[in-house]
Amino acid sequence: MTQAEGKGESVAAVENRDGAGEFLLVCEHASNRFPAAFGALGLSAAERRAHIAWDPGALGLARGLARRLDACLVHATVSRLIYDLNRPPHAPGATPAKSEIYDIPGNANLGEDERLRRVTAVYLPFHDRLHAEIARRLALGRPPVLVTIHSFTPVYFGKPRAVEFGIIHDADPALALNVLDEARAGTGLRSELNQPYSAADSVTHTLRLHATPYGLDNVMLEVRNDLIAHPQAEEEMAHRLAPVLRSALSELQRGRHRGRQD
Amino acid sequence: MTQAEGKGESVAAVENRDGAGEFLLVCEHASNRFPAAFGALGLSAAERRAHIAWDPGALGLARGLARRLDACLVHATVSRLIYDLNRPPHAPGATPAKSEIYDIPGNANLGEDERLRRVTAVYLPFHDRLHAEIARRLALGRPPVLVTIHSFTPVYFGKPRAVEFGIIHDADPALALNVLDEARAGTGLRSELNQPYSAADSVTHTLRLHATPYGLDNVMLEVRNDLIAHPQAEEEMAHRLAPVLRSALSELQRGRHRGRQD
């Protein structure tokens, strides 16, 4: 069901599926793996390790959060350059021919057949798998809180980025606003709303596809990747951000409880 | 992939998959079939033929429209009482214990395991199948226009309903408003917006799940079932409504074209 075409390789991995926590974590850009069915897209080994191929540190951070929050984690196991799971099938950015300053030869002049092959082999099985986990929790009376975990490069088109922790929302900003408050109050991280990207940059596809239709609380998190550049740093960041998520959600739920009592 | 649990029976059927038309028609309540894996839910044969089990006439109407519009049609092949595909997994109405004046014994005090079984065997494979057809068209540069086709009973809780043709929208009313105008101008049907149901009654789940995340034009249609009570009537209704859909979409596209020129 979640197999890359003809290779028996899964494109989605689910960890801590039966976690009792309310959060469901998603890491669409967890991996810089290029399965043989798709090849290396003409990229060098160094390019395949660069931020264009994946979100370095995001999976380690997501795993650290999943452990602390007893959360289920759904993450990709193929590079975003084969198919960017946070983009819809008609978006040029789903299979980008250029990413920041890098050309992606294997994505240049992509034909419809190859685009459709990647949608069928990567996009659909990943999102079907995530959908199944969400539907399962809904059926069991435990609507999840959807949090997508990303990292961004400290230098983009040659310009340094000052923001350290970006909190991005789509249609429903409630959880994002609480995360921002908690992050500013408790972490010392330079935290900004809708930075370095926002929904206007089409980066909230996963939230739109999975959270909004079910009215699930949701937020997208972006951590600057130099702050999670090795396993110990990932763990330390998870240690800082887990209480932020916990408090932000509690505050949201308390607010609703008060709202019902008014 | 679209098999009812352990039975090798499909829960979704796709007709005219390669149709060249822009419309993608969906009929979630097309069938009053009760596969052996789920049984008859304690209902008599007459109850299983009643409007609570399906939308009588909707499939015939949808097929007539699909033929005239060269549209792909995705329809259910199991009764809505086993799982109502137009409801999310946490909605009590997904597996209703009572529908209008009828008790559904097989849905009374449904345990979590049985609810989850139906979500896994019916809800997920149907919507995954529909998602695949939408994603395929998006990848091919042909974003579909999503139209869900329903019928409603002329007498509900003992009260007759005057409306003949209901046009229901969710977040984006653009296509629905055009369909309303065209229906009133051209069909003689008593046509009403958001009647006999509206999004506030939670009847727009399919639109929310599949059209809104991709920004697809969409509308839900409800035809009073006494007007499509036999094959010839279904054909005649399709003959009346196909030009309504065609004109409503053309008008929408002309409006956008004018908008771009301003």
Q: What is the pLDDT of residues A164-216, one digit of tens each?
A: 999 999 999 999 999 999 999 999 999 999 999 999 888 999 999 999 999 99
- CB-closest option in B124, B132, B213 to A213: B213
For chain B, say whether A135 makes contact (Cβ under 8 Å): yes
The residue ranking higher by pLDDT, A7 or A148, is A148
Local confidence pLDDT in tens for the 262 residues of chain B: 344 444 446 999 999 999 999 999 999 999 999 999 999 999 999 999 999 999 999 999 999 999 999 999 999 999 999 999 999 999 999 999 998 889 999 999 999 999 999 999 999 999 999 999 999 999 999 999 999 999 999 998 889 999 999 999 999 999 999 999 999 999 999 999 999 999 988 899 999 999 999 999 999 999 999 999 999 999 999 999 999 999 999 999 998 888 776 6
**pTM exceeding the 0.80 threshold for the entire prediction:** yes
- How many angstroms separate the CA atoms of A25 and A30, rounded? 12
Tens-digit pLDDT profile for residues B26-46: 999 999 999 999 999 999 999
- Would you call B117 an interface residue with chain A, using a CB distance cutoff of 8 Å? no
Report how far residue B52's alpha carbon sits from residue B112's, in angstroms, rounded to the nearest whole number: 23
Q: Do A124 and B132 touch (CB under 8 A)?
A: yes
Judge contact between A10 and A130, C-beta under 8 A. Answer: no
Please give, one letter per residue, the 3-state secondary structure of chain A.
Answer: CCEECCCCEECEEEECCCCCCCEEEEECCCCCCCCCCCCCCCCCHHHHHCCCCCCCCHHHHHHHHHHHHCCEEEEECCCCCCCCCCCCCCCHHHCCCEECCEECHHHCCCCHHHHHHHHHHHHHHHHHHHHHHHHHHHHCCCCCEEEEEEEECCEECCEECCCCEEEECCCCCHHHHHHHHHHHHHCCCCEEECCCCCHHHCCCHHHHHHHHHHCCCEEEEEEEHHHHCCHHHHHHHHHHHHHHHHHHHHHHHHHHHHHHHC
CB distance B37 to B208 below 8 Å: no
Cα atoms found within 13 Å of the Cα of residue A236, Cβ hemisphere only: 10
**Using the beta-carbon criterion (under 8 Å), do A138 and B89 form an inter-chain contact?**
yes
Query: What is the DSSP track for B155-220?
Result: EETTEE---SEEEE-SS--HHHHHHHHHHHHHT---EEET-S--GGGT--HHIIIIIGGGT--EEE
Query: What class, spelled out in words, does domain A3-256 have in CATH?
Result: alpha beta
According to CATH, what is the number of the domain B3-261? 3.40.630.40
Instruction: Say if residues A83 and A42 touch (Cβ distance below 8 Å).
Output: no
Do A141 and B90 count as a contact with CB atoms less than 8 A apart? yes
Inter-chain contact B88–A128, Cβ cutoff 8 Å? Answer: no
A contacts of B205 (beta carbons < 8 Å): 213
- Interface confidence, given as ipTM, is 0.94
pLDDT of the residue at B100: 84
Interface residue A120 vs chain B (CB under 8 A): yes
Residues of A in contact with B170 (CB under 8 A): none
